[in-house]
Amino acid sequence: MKIVIVGGGPAGLMAAESASAAGAEVDLYDAMASVGRKFLLAGKGGLNLTHSEPSEKFLSRYGTRRTQFAPLLATFGPDALRAWAHGLGIDTFIGSSGRVFPADLKAAPLLRSWLRRLRKAGVRFHVRHRGTGWSGQGILSFTTPNGNRAVAADATVLALGGGSWPKLGSDASWVPLLAERRVRIAPLQPANCGFDVGWSGHFRMKFAGHPVKSVAAVVRSHTGIESWHPGEFVITETGVEGGVIYTVSAALRNEILAKGTATLRLDLAPDRDVPRLTKSLSRPRGKRTMAAHLQRQANIEGVKAGLLREVVSKDDFADPARLAVAIKSLPVKLIAPRPLEEAISTAGGVLFEALDARLMIRSLPGVFCAGEMLDWESPTGGYLLTACFATGRAAGLGAVDWLTKRRIGRKG
Ligand SMILES: Cc1cc2nc3c(=O)[nH]c(=O)nc-3n(C[C@H](O)[C@H](O)[C@H](O)COP(=O)(O)OP(=O)(O)OC[C@H]3O[C@@H](n4cnc5c(N)ncnc54)[C@H](O)[C@@H]3O)c2cc1C
């Protein structure tokens, strides 16, 4: 049985590995000159492979898609992933936050070892092949530097990624190709992304590029439940990005979609409460400047003081009780998420409802989907890669299972 994988990111490579191990002849095609480019980029940030938290909590990271991920992660979850990496000669460790990384914090050695093993298993790689759809039943079309190519496949796994960082290969050009075949797709949106604020010229000039540390983001979900997320982020030319902003980005993006703007509430003094801050700020200032008073009484200085000045009115600034409330819940108005191209990951994609349990597109028998091109999202923390590996494995095995049953059916 000849299985074609289109897309050589973590999901496609895992699909290739599982299909090949199950006895299929596997050819993998990728648009770029080499595979795994986004995976290598993830390695620049330490390659957070997965997370060590209890399975229920882990599963909750997939939000409304937890039902679909439960069986996928039950067969290939964080422990299986760590064992798999170990099998490639890559030891992993659990960081202080519970996140799991390769011992050397790099992606390249893992990818090298993996590709070596895949080639040894007989997987054939065809780079600089951009999939452009189908020219007939089971006949895939590719553009290559040497012209167009048609490739026959008994089954196909599409693992084409989302739409973030398109220069690394995933440019979402598959969306119209599947949409015209009536595959149901949720619109692609940025996930784990930054936001535009529209800073004043003065604030931007003074603080763009500054990290804001020891803060917490407070967000309210659509059901009205408030959650508090400690962390840090960075002020950008246009707004905010990084760590804790990514954590709360799905709720903020959805609020912007629903209302046009969103309010990010920042706790600039997570270790103090409002009464303590009010008491400290009410102490006589004497001849000290307000900046010195804020620093001495509330440990607020630099970019945090700048944020207060940017957002809080003069009247509120002069009132210790109102200033204390602002320090604990500074409302920063967000006007737009940053574009998908800049996001860490993609929300939206092929709906699970369009797929069967093996991840085969119901309306396109023999065509399976995996990875970030599916409609799910999760925060950073290793959940993205874990999901790509798990869906890649399921799609690869699903393709073999489908072909095997079809053969048996024909013989019978
Ligand atoms: C800066 C950054 C850091 C990240 N760090 C982490 C991290 O530490 N931990 C984590 O869990 N996740 C991380 N991620 C996310 C993670 O890298 C992605 O979720 C993951 O790579 C998606 O895997 P995929 O196989 O679905 O798609 P991709 O990795 O995007 O691969 C898709 C492949 O398909 C190919 N392709 C696309 N269209 C076509 C076509 N028409 N024809 C042929 N080939 C095509 C592309 O060239 C590409 O090789 C990070 C992402 C970024 C941007």
pLDDT of 32 above 80: yes
Each residue of 201-232: pLDDT tens digit? 999 999 999 999 999 999 877 777 888 999 99
Nearest atom within ligand 1 for CA of residue 371:
26
Q: What pLDDT does 52 receive? A: 98
Are the C-beta atoms of residues 43 and 106 closer than 8 Å to each other? yes
For the Cβ of 384 lying below 6 angstroms from any atom of ligand 1, the answer is: yes
Each residue of 77-113: pLDDT tens digit? 999 999 999 999 999 999 999 999 999 999 999 999 9
How many Å apart are CA 149 and CA 134, to the nearest integer? Answer: 11
CA of 119 from ligand 1 middle (Å) equals 21
Res. 155 pLDDT band, cuts 50 70 90: very high
For the Cβ of 299 lying below 6 angstroms from any atom of ligand 1, the answer is: no
Each residue of 298-310: pLDDT tens digit? 999 999 999 999 9
Residue 28 β-bridge partners: 5, 125
CA of 162 from ligand 1 middle (Å) equals 7
Which of 41-45, 89-93, 218-222, 350-354 has the lowest average pLDDT?
A: 218-222
CA of 330 from ligand 1 middle (Å) equals 35
How many Å apart are CA 239 and CA 208, to the nearest integer? Answer: 8
Helix (H) or strand (E) holding 100, with range, is strand 99-102
pLDDT of 288 above 80: yes
CA of 174 from ligand 1 middle (Å) equals 14
Determine the average pLDDT of the residues in 158-163: 98
Minimal-distance CA residue to ligand 1 atom 2: 42
CA of 317 from ligand 1 middle (Å) equals 46
Ligand 1: which of 38, 142, 340, 342 to mutate, most ligand atoms within 8 Å of CB? 38
The Cβ of residue 22 has, within 10 Å, a number of other Cβ atoms equal to 17
Are the C-beta atoms of residues 162 and 189 closer than 8 Å to each other? no
What's the mean per-residue pLDDT of the chain?
96
Work out whether the CA dihedral 156, 157, 162, 165 comes out positive or negative: negative
Determine the average pLDDT of the residues in 185-204: 97
Q: What pLDDT does 207 receive? A: 98
How many Å apart are CA 244 and CA 102, to the nearest integer? Answer: 23
Q: What pLDDT does 412 receive? A: 65
| Cα–chain center distance at 236 | 20
